[in-house]
Structures are given as C-alpha cells and as structure tokens.
Amino acid sequence: MPVSPPFITQQTSAISLSIQYWESVEGYSESADSEGNVTATRVLYCEWADRKDFCRALLGFSRVGFAGSEIVLRRSLPEKHPDIPAMYCVRADMIGGKGTPQHQHDSGLIAFYAAALPANMLGGRPGGYAYFRTEWKMLPWDVKRDNEIGGDETARYVERTEIFSGESITLPGKCFRFSTVIAPAATGRTIPEGLPKLVLGGELHMKWMQIPSQDNRLPAGLRANIRACVNRVNQTTFEGYDSGTLLCLAPQIERKRSVIGIDTFDIEYVFAVKEKEDADGVGGWNTVYRRDLTTGPGFDFIESVDDPTLSIYREEDLYKLFFLVQA
C-alpha cells in the first residue's frame, strides 16, 4: 500500500521543481557489506505528467548560472535519504504506470489518465500515475548547496584518490664514501658512481563531477585555466601538499548527458607528487640533490642562469582549475 511522504523540492537560479510523491511500504529495502557499501531501494509514485521532472528532482543536476556578468556553477542537489545520512538517490527506473493507458495525440506515447487509486491520493485531481524503483547510495564526495561552499568548488562534487609510490633518483657521483678505512688511507674510499636514492612520490587524483557545458562545450574560461595550469607546480599549499610538490598533468575529460538534457563533463585532474623530505622543508619538483651544501648533502632549489626568478617548472595557483571563468 502506498504512503504519503512530503514534497520533493529542488531549487536553482533557473528552475524550481516542487513534486509531490508517495512511497510503497512493500518496496523498501536496505543492504550493507563489510567494505562499507550501504544502499537502499525505495518504490516511489508520482503523477504521470510529473514523471520527467520527478526524475530530475530525484537525481539532481547542474547548470551554468550568472553572478552579474560572470558565469558560475549552479547545482540542484539530488534527493537525500530521509533516514540515512550522506545517502542520495543515484538511479530512478520507471517500472510501470497505473490508470487507464491511452495514446497521447501529440507524441503517440502511452500515457495513463484515469487514476487507479482513490482520488484523494492525487490531491483530488483525476489522472494516472507512474511508479519508480529508485536506488540510493552514499556518494564518494561531499554534497553541498551553492551557498554552503564559500566559493570553493573543491568542497563538493570532488572525488579524491591518493596513490603513494617511491621514485628512484641517481645521486651525483662522489657524494659518499665507504666507512671502512683501509690503511694507509685516512678515510674510506670515495664512491665515484652515482648511487640510487628512493624518494617519496605518487599521484593525487581529483575528479570534479558534473560540470555543465556552455554552448555544448567546456566553458571557455575553465578551458583557459586548465591550459594555464598543465605542466605547472602549485604556487601555494594545495590539498595539504606544500608549494612546489604537485605537478599538474594533463586531465582526462569525459562528456556525458545530464537528466535535464544538457552536456556535462567529469574532469579528472592528475597531479604528480614529489614530497619534501628534508628537515628544513627543501624539496619538490624544482630541487636537485647536491653534495656541497653547508649542512651536508641534500636537496637544493635551482634557478635559471639567465633569469633567477625561473626554475624548471613555473608556479601557478591550482585552485583556478575549479573556476568556470578565466582566473
């Protein structure tokens, strides 16, 4: 038997959806496993004429909006599970309609017009209804409204993955010697070859989800920001990594079609990591190991002979990768 929960309400700067729906108590289930995957299934009903907007409201969507003359990212959040925190609707499958089926004259599609349930279930309005089997999951990113992020898009819809690895570098020759002294030498014999040294490295992946298109393309400002950051190191601390330790590589961009019919993009940014390991904080992509430091062998910053302000990699503000306008 169906029950009557509250309205679904979705708000964006361009679209406002307020859809009433009902839930079948027989269709609800939950599942969990030892790896922390928790899912739920709900069977929901809405008026037949509302079925498309109902899916949009359940799943959420993103659009390009405007703050003055600048474009901004506007998100309409997916419907949240009423009882389980951080669980959202991720799929809605219409499994049927109830009422009297008839062909619509304009499209030929079957529609359901006469209510099979008591009229008071549909607010006293005659009409058929659609019912959906919906899937609910905990998402691997934070879900926040436009007014909850303080302009920082890294605070929502970003899936993070860190991969740690070791990088073997070859040290300059004659940096080390054997500790055993063999007479008549006063010290151990110097090692002429460059020795290998393992330094901590890895990759940081940040997948930014559901970026709306502008004129069916990646927004021009965002495209310019990506070009400005690729092959650059972080100018300031970024995602907890010290300046100069993240090198921005070329991103992977996947085009998709959203529930409101516009193209969106999932952008996976990849950063190569070269951690600082010296006690004095020296390290990163613009350093090289040398033997003749006053404090002993270690990493030292390097600069261009012609322009001391330049090094191997230029610095950039990597936060601009999460702006739709050119920064």
Query: Higher model confidence: residue 122 or residue 157?
Result: 157
The model's pTM: 0.84
Query: Given this model, what pLDDT does residue 298 score?
Result: 76
Query: Given this model, what pLDDT does residue 68 score?
Result: 81
pLDDT in tens, 30-83: 999 998 889 999 999 888 888 899 999 999 999 998 888 888 899 999 999 989
3-state secondary structure the chain: CEECCCEEEEECCCCEEEEECEEEEEEEEEEECCCCCEEEEEEEEEEHHHHHHHHHHHHCEEEEEEECCEEEEEEECCCECCCCCCEEEEEEEEEEEECCEEECCCCCCEEECCCCCCHHHHCCCCCCEEEEEEEEEECCCCCCCHHHCCCCHHHCCEEEEEEEEEEEEECCCCCCECCCCCCCCCCCCECCCCCEEEEEEEEEEEEEEEEECECCECCHHHHHHHHHHCCCEECCCECCECCCCEEECCCEEEEEECCCCCEEEEEEEEEEEECECCCCCCECCCEEEECCCCCCCEEEECCCCCCCCCCCCCEECHHHHHCCCCC
Query: Given this model, what pLDDT does residue 218 score?
Result: 93
